Amino acid sequence: MRVLALLDGTLVDPETPLFRADDLGVTRGDGVFETILVADREPRELAAHLDRMQRSARLMQLPLPDRAAWLRAVQAVVDAWPWDQERELALKLVCTRGIDGGDGTPHGFALGSSIEAGTLRKREQGVSAVTLERGYEPDLMERAPWLLLSAKTLSYAVNMAAMREAESRGADEVIFTAADGSVLEGPTSTVVLARGDELLTTPPSSGILEGTTQGALFRTAERAGWRTRAEKFPVADLHSADGVWLASSVRLITQVRSIDGSPVRADPQLHAELARLYESNYGTG
């Protein structure tokens, strides 16, 4: 099931072409996006996603359409979704820089899609991950903003290639590492580990995307007495942790069961506690 809305709130057939061949989104991956979970009509972390899309756009000097337009498109998809058939959808917001050599008008849409079977399986059964080099030093981001390390751009070919590399190694997911061996992020997720009464994640200053789902988890975990920290840590810490998770909007708080072929601690009770803390952010929690 796919439901597509334009920024004026109009619904259009998702199978009808929408982008010209000379749109910079097509020819240059020049644009930004967000993927949002909508569960039981509630778009989760919508404000955080829209804030992050605005930050991505600013880093790219892309004139993002205003928030009202995005909210209109989101509402149009939510209103048109067949809730009697499916109680969740993955909502993608996309904005390209528009026509190459055109008047600079950006081109955006909101597309709701059914949750894929593979995603449901990852949520329920957890995942195997491999570490892959990302190639840069964690201090690069501040020195080299043109590398867009903290922007969620449409240029995701490397993220997709890394996922294929994982599959070719018989794994489900990737954990990127920096040139200094520290842990960065997944191609489409944030790494979280538990250690005693502490939850740890990589700081955005390492050139990773600030995680909306990880943010939601940390928010309620703090209230429940967990200490939370964003700090650089080496791959070895994944292996010695009490648990490792990949947080993403649609896969939620996915438990990691093995890394590079070695099992990591995967306590079902600890997993259930984190999942419950995350869910407690929402009406369904």
Nearer to its own copies, 27 or 280 (CB): 27
User: In this structure, what DSSP letter does residue 117 have?
Assistant: H
- Of 120, 116, 124, 118, residue with least CA distance to 257: 124
- Amino acid residing at 101: G
**Interaction of residue 164 with its own copies, rule CB under 8 A:** yes
**Interaction of residue 60 with its own copies, rule CB under 8 A:** yes
**Interaction of residue 184 with its own copies, rule CB under 8 A:** no
Scanning the structure block, which residue is given the tokens 């939601």?
Answer: 216
- Of 104, 87, 110, residue with least CA distance to 33: 110
**Interaction of residue 148 with its own copies, rule CB under 8 A:** yes
**Interaction of residue 54 with its own copies, rule CB under 8 A:** no
Q: Where are the alpha helices (DSSP H) in 126-189?
A: 140-143, 157-168
Would you state the structure tokens that stand for residue 134, as one six-digit string? 């990302």
Interacting residue with its own copies among 39, 156, 228, 237 (CB under 8 A): 156
- d(C-alpha 111, C-alpha 95), whole Å: 11
Would you state the structure tokens that stand for residue 128, as one six-digit string? 């195997």
Supply the minimum distance, in Å, between the C-beta of residue 214 and its own copies.
22
Nearer to its own copies, 40 or 180 (CB): 180
**Interaction of residue 134 with its own copies, rule CB under 8 A:** yes
Interacting residue with its own copies among 31, 43, 98, 211 (CB under 8 A): 31
Nearer to its own copies, 85 or 146 (CB): 146
- Of 67, 91, 75, residue with least CA distance to 14: 91
Which residues make up the interface to its own copies (CB under 8 A)? Answer: 2, 4, 14-31, 33, 59-61, 92, 94, 96, 100-101, 109, 111, 113, 116, 132-137, 140, 143-148, 151, 153-162, 164-165, 179
